[in-house]
Structure 1
Amino acid sequence: MVLAASAMMAPAVNAAALKLGGVHAPNSFEVQALERFAELASEKSGGSVTVTVYPAGQLGDERSMIDMINTGAIDMFANVADWNQHLVKDFAVLSMPFVFENLDHLKAFQASGTYAAMRDEMLAQKDVRILADNWYRLPRVLLTRDAVGSIDDVNGKKLRMPDIESFISTWSAFGAKPTIIPFAEAFLALKTGIVDGMEAPLSSVYAQKFYQVAPHITMTNHGLAPFNIMMNEGAYQKLSAEERDQLVQAAVEAGDFYTSLIQDQFTEQREKMVAEGATLTDIDLEPFGERARAVAQDFETRGLWRAGLFEEIQGLRQ
């Protein structure tokens, strides 16, 4: 009986043929880098490990795939580390707007014992391993159909949000009306006026064509959480020790490729967006930061992450 139950719960792995789910468009930086990861995994393993990438929400939305990687219904899931909070609550702090001052600040936290403990907890309690989290993207920005010149202009706007409480509560504090819509459906929601705007990584704006329907890009630079590749531990352990090392190496190298790809190509993409009518505008961020800090304090009081974590991260500013 025990053996039968274990077999029913086994991850969906067939001769090291791995399924990787994501939500980004096929031409996005993310999917280009995930395809590079798949190539590297095959090359390094001599073909004994193959990875098939399923982009654009083909396997489900973000929350569904988090559940599926936890149960082993899929082998890997790639997305921003904000979503990890559905497995370990302390990851919620990564999704807080303005928690990180810059990329060096984020990397300092990733190098800390606290962050290592969060990764270990996710592996021990949820059977989900982070293969690589050195996939660094551009900051998150605000995209709207109408121009935004100050925090007052956010008031009353319907903004597409992921199903992440820190996003919803913080943008509510900014005066917006958050609307939960899967990332893969965001373009249509903007085009049809279901929402007035959204927040998104600047590096995703061109590939997803968001600028065509929300041409006002406000440089809030409010989020810097890394993109990461996660893997079900049962699927990982089915590989040989050598294959596991090769897969991790492939994920890390693909992360370096991803980071460089964004830096190399975004300048050209920015010029194309501006030529097609998009505007990129700076804004006074202090009012946003003040309200975000108040939300963070409330979250900590309510136990959305452990006490003292937010201030610990602020102490790592360089």
Structure 2
Amino acid sequence: MDNEQKTACSRCKNDMPMDTLKHAHDGVIKKECPEYIKIYKELREKITSFRLLPHEKIPSETELCRQYGVSRYTIQRALQLLVAEGLIIRQQGKASYVRELARFGGEEGEKQVLHLGCLNQPEILLTQFACRFARRVEEKTAGALHVEVHHSSELGDGSEEIMALSRGELDLFCGALDWLALLNPVYAVVSFPFLFRDIDHLMSFVRSAMVTDIRKRFVLEHGICVLAANWYRPSRVLLSRSPVFSPRDWQGLSIGIPNIPLFRDMWTYLGMTPEPVSFGERHSAFDARRIEATDVNWDIIISEQLYECVSFVTCMNHSFSRACVAMSERCFRSLRPDMQHAVKQAAEDVGSEYSQHLFSSFENEKKQMLAKGMHLISTNMGEARQLMTKFFYRESRKHCWPENLYRYIQSL
């Protein structure tokens, strides 16, 4: 395009190809966009939207001539523009291929820094996988994007980081999906206690059209895009100083939980006394006798050495908490389509790796806990499930959830 003859309009001073636009400002006389420009734009859109993938072969000149009904010279001009932009590789006498993202991730040395908030300490598995996500983004974008991980609530507690994300003041957040319920209580449904039969039941709901619609509306209403919510975990467990076999055993016990309204209301409804405890403070809260129980994920028990504080682990298959990677929609939209794809793909890939790691290490962690002197109790908590059904309908009316939500979930 650099070799084309150009002219400049005396009013708007814009340089334009002479065969594209003629000016007569009593009325602008426009000539139809040249065919090679149309073809270039269409192929470019297919590449940047990943309908044509890296290493995929571009149709031959002959095929493109037949497809668009134009001359070989026109096709060659369109392809030359794609080569000049670094989107494809052309080899004389051979096929043309889409370049890897790494080859067109940005100019040499160019780097954009994104900031990711993470609530847990470095030794916690979720933080480690957040760092893996950061590395994966850098790999997929050939260093054009660098994700700086701020762990240990460096940028604030969960509510502060979620609000900053919604305002566009924070780029990324990696943490429990439950935190999104601060902006829209319907997000609490996916970790609602005693609602899902097992992890497969939860997955079927997450993949449903209803959840897809919830995520779309969340972008519009709160400016947060959930890049990946496939960071599944085994069911949470109840840790306690004394054994718990039924709801009667936990009546009046103080329980340390994150400062999430639904969690507080739920455990209060079940007869416990909630005590807000931040991440990393559970151990000290037990030592200070502030709490007698806590509700946690499996991987937290070993990493936070909670086996030093309590002796009993009650496995009641009650809450399948998920983590997620969420991004400020403003930040996401500021990225090129190829960068958007790379960030989403990195979040989904690492999410799958995170879940696989947790579920594969599940039995080994049980053995470690037994070796530490802990007692594992398994119970189905049928009485608690009945109570939670009533609590679900109460919360549903309170937050105006879809009327058929409970029946919809149970039918899956």
Give the TM-score, by structure 1 length. Answer: 0.90
Q: Does 1:276 align with 2:276?
A: no
- The corresponding residue for 2:153 is 57
Cα deviations across residues 166-222 of structure 1 (Å, max 9, x unaligned)?
222221222111112222322211221111111012232222222221231111221
Percent of aligned pairs with the same residue? 27
Inter-partner Cα distance in structure 1 for 2:382 and 2:216:
35
Alignment of 1:209 onto 2:308 = no
Give per-residue Cα distances to partners, 1:278-318, cap 9 Å, x unaligned. Answer: 121112410111111111111112235232222211111xx
SS in 2 for 1:206: helix
Contact 1:158-1:177 at 8 Å conserved across structures: yes
SS at match of 2:317: coil
What CA distance in whole angstroms lies between the structure 1 residues aligned with 2:227 and 2:334?
15
Q: Deviations over 1:133-152 (max 9, x none)?
A: 11111101101122223221
Match of 1:131 in 2: 227
Point out where structure 1 has 5 or more consecutive residues left out of the alignment.
1-13
Instruction: Confirm or deny: 8 A CA contact 1:16 1:239 kept in the other structure.
Output: no
Q: 2:318 matched to 1:226?
A: no
Shift of 1:131: 0.6
Conservation of the 8 A alpha-carbon contact between 2:225 and 2:329: yes
Amino acid in the other structure paired with 2:272 = A
Higher-helix-fraction structure: 1
The residue type equivalent to 1:108 in the other structure is: S
Per the alignment, residue 167 of structure 2 pairs with 71
Q: 2:347 aligns with which of 251, 268, 286?
A: 251
Q: After the TM superposition, list the runs of 4 or more consecutive aligned residues in structure 1 that deviate by more than 3 angstroms.
A: none
Correspondences of 1:136-215 after superposition (within 5 Å): 136-215=232-311
Give the distance between the partners of 1:65 and 1:214, measured in 2 at CA: 31
Q: Specify the code of the residue in structure 2 equivalent to 1:307.
A: E
3-state DSSP of counterpart to 2:303: coil
Task: Give the corresponding residue for 2:381.
Answer: 285
Tell me what 1:4 maps to.
none
Cα distance in structure 1, aligned partners of 2:206 and 2:246: 32
Relative contact order, CA 8 A, sep 6+: which one is greater? 1
Mean alpha-carbon deviation: is it higher for 94-103 or for 226-235?
94-103
Q: How far does residue 15 in structure 1 lie from its aligned partner after superposition?
A: 5.0
Alignment correspondent of 1:302: 398
Aligned 8 A contact 1:57 1:184 in 2: no
Q: Shift in Å at residue 29 of structure 1?
A: 2.0
Is 1:90 the counterpart of 2:186? The answer is yes
Q: Which structure is larger by alpha-carbon Rg, 1 or 2?
A: 2
Secondary structure of the residue aligned to 1:184 is coil
Native 8 Å contact 1:29 1:262 kept in 2: no
Q: What SS does the corresponding residue of 2:170 show, helix, strand or coil? A: coil
Please name the residue that 1:260 is paired with: 356
Moved more, 55-64 or 261-270: 261-270
| Structure-to-structure mapping, 1:36-51, within 5 angstroms | 36-51=132-147
Q: 8 Å contact 1:170–1:291 — kept in the other structure?
A: no
Q: 1:184 to 1:63 in 2, by over 3 A?
A: farther
The CA distance in 2 between the partners of 1:207 and 1:259, in whole Å, is: 17
- Do the aligned partners of 1:25 and 1:207 also contact (CA within 8 Å) in 2? no
Secondary structure of residue in 2 paired with 1:205: helix
Q: Tell me if the contact between 1:90 and 1:306 (Cα under 8 Å) persists in the aligned partners.
A: no
Per-residue CA deviation, residues 85-126 of structure 1 (Å, 9 max, x unaligned), is: 122232122232011111111111111111011100111111
2:290 is paired with a residue whose SS is coil
1:202 counterpart letter in structure 2: W
Task: Give the secondary structure class of the aligned counterpart of 1:195.
Answer: coil
Q: Which amino acid aligns with 1:298?
A: R
RMSD over aligned CA atoms reads 1.7
- Which of 84, 95, 104 matches 2:200? 104
Q: Distance in 1 between matches of 2:197 and 2:136?
A: 33
Which residue of structure 1 lines up, in the alignment, with residue 16 of structure 2? none
Match of 1:7 in 2: none
Cα distance in structure 2, aligned partners of 1:87 and 1:217: 32
Q: Contact 2:255–2:291 at 8 Å: present in 1 too?
A: yes
